[in-house]
Amino acid sequence: MTLDFKLDFYNIAKCGFYEGGAFNTDFGTVSEMMEDFQNWIIDKPLFQTKTYDLGQIRDLLPVYCFNLQHNPVTNDYLLVTWNELPFEDGNVPSVNGSEQVGSVHINLTPIPENNIPGYATYFWILPNYNTLITVRPEGQALNGHQNLKNYFAYFLRYFTRYTVFDEATESFRYSFNDNPEETQIKLYAKFETYLKRKQTERDFLINNNQDIYKIIRKDKFKFVSQETNVPLIEQILRAVLLGGKEPLTVLEKNYKIELDYDPSREDIIQIVDKWDLLEDDSDVGFKFSGQQGNIVWLSKTYEKHETSLDIVRNPNEVLDAGVLLELLSNQRERFIRLANLTPNG
């Protein structure tokens, strides 16, 4: 069975222990973190693999290690995380999508004892290249990247070889050696990543702003309407103008807006920087004078690639991590060239 995947490449900018405001680590590497993580999960039940509890990070729900596979030849890892979904008193809430707005009933489905409702996400980690790759199968909306950042940040804080708990002060410190008396006090555990950029294409946008004459925005418009046989533009107008005064159901449509635009260099820099913070399927494009039909999309200025893998995906089952790592490893050199990855050091 062939399954399509979207791969987003992230640079691991920080992974280790840093003095306040410092860019360079005092100690700690991606390889060491993954070694510690692999040792930490040994013989643990799933519920013991979370690194933070609900409420520790802006009310974010915990993340767990579902599976971890390691290729000792390349030193690559395939990590599957389980992202917890909200539930209350042992029940998962759901609603009937065909019921009318204002008259929707909530149904509570009991969760079997010790079960954790959630969804799986997949990560291909290349420590020798300081690279993290989200591996998103077709039909899956979320790549789990933000959750993983928090997951590893808290793992570094509490569970690595360098972590020392000071019972006198009831606080954590970080030491390069095993002697707590020589613990470094003013160090901070950090795990930071950012999408790997195609810098030459970004430089082209910024340095040729004077040739841009149109800006395009692609996104999804969510609105509500009961009459799905009504023309799209009329549905949108009703949704916007009536403000939900009729019996409605949620609809989602792709849209594209194209506007004349004469940006300054600073405008382009600001747009690019703000777009970097988004993690959705929206996109922004620019048209250049003298280049008819050529559009430079911001989504294309990142190392985002696609591939097809011969892997079985059964309903309600998580993909086999060992098989997935083997299939990705078969294309490893191709992706290293495509994304222009360079070894550490």
DSSP result, 239-307:
HHHH-S-S---EEEEEEEEEEE----HHHHHHHHHHHHT--SS-EEEEEETT-TT-EEEGGGGB-EEEE
For 157-187, b/e burial (b = at least 16 CB within 10 A) is: bebbbbbbeeeeeeeebbbeeeeeeebbeeb
Predicted pLDDT at 232: 56
Give SS3 for 89.
Answer: coil
User: Quick one: 215 and 257 in the same domain?
Assistant: yes
Predicted pLDDT at 69: 98
Number of other CB atoms surrounding residue 310 within 10 Å: 9
The helix (H) or strand (E) run that includes residue 19 is none
pLDDT digits (tens, 9 = 90+) for 51-97: 998 777 677 899 999 999 999 999 999 999 999 998 877 888 888 88
User: Quick one: 161 and 182 in the same domain?
Assistant: yes
Residue 148 lies in a domain: yes
Residue written as token pair 């306040």 = 20
Is residue 197 over pLDDT 90? no
User: How far is CA 339 from each of CA 13, 74, 189, 193, 199, rounded to the nearest angstrom?
Assistant: 16, 17, 28, 16, 12
Q: Which domain holds residue 296?
A: 200-220+250-301
Strand partners, 12: 193
User: Quick one: 329 and 270 in the same domain?
Assistant: no
Question: CA–CA separation, 215 vs 309, rounded Å?
Answer: 36
Predicted pLDDT at 237: 53
Give SS3 for 5.
Answer: strand
pTM of the model: 0.77
Question: CA–CA separation, 173 vs 183, rounded Å?
Answer: 6
User: Quick one: 26 and 65 in the same domain?
Assistant: yes
User: Quick one: 280 and 205 in the same domain?
Assistant: yes
Question: CA–CA separation, 214 vs 315, rounded Å?
Answer: 44
User: Quick one: 283 and 167 in the same domain?
Assistant: no
Give me the numbers of helices (H) and strands (E) for the chain, helices first please: 7, 15
Question: CA–CA separation, 89 vs 111, rounded Å?
Answer: 9
The helix (H) or strand (E) run that includes residue 290 is none
User: Quick one: 144 and 48 in the same domain?
Assistant: yes
Enumerate residues 6+ apart whose C-beta is below 8 A from 245: none
Predicted pLDDT at 243: 47
User: Quick one: 166 and 290 in the same domain?
Assistant: no
Predicted pLDDT at 43: 95
Predicted pLDDT at 279: 63
Q: How many domains does the chain have?
A: 2
Question: CA–CA separation, 240 vs 165, rounded Å?
Answer: 56
Question: CA–CA separation, 41 vs 34, rounded Å?
Answer: 11
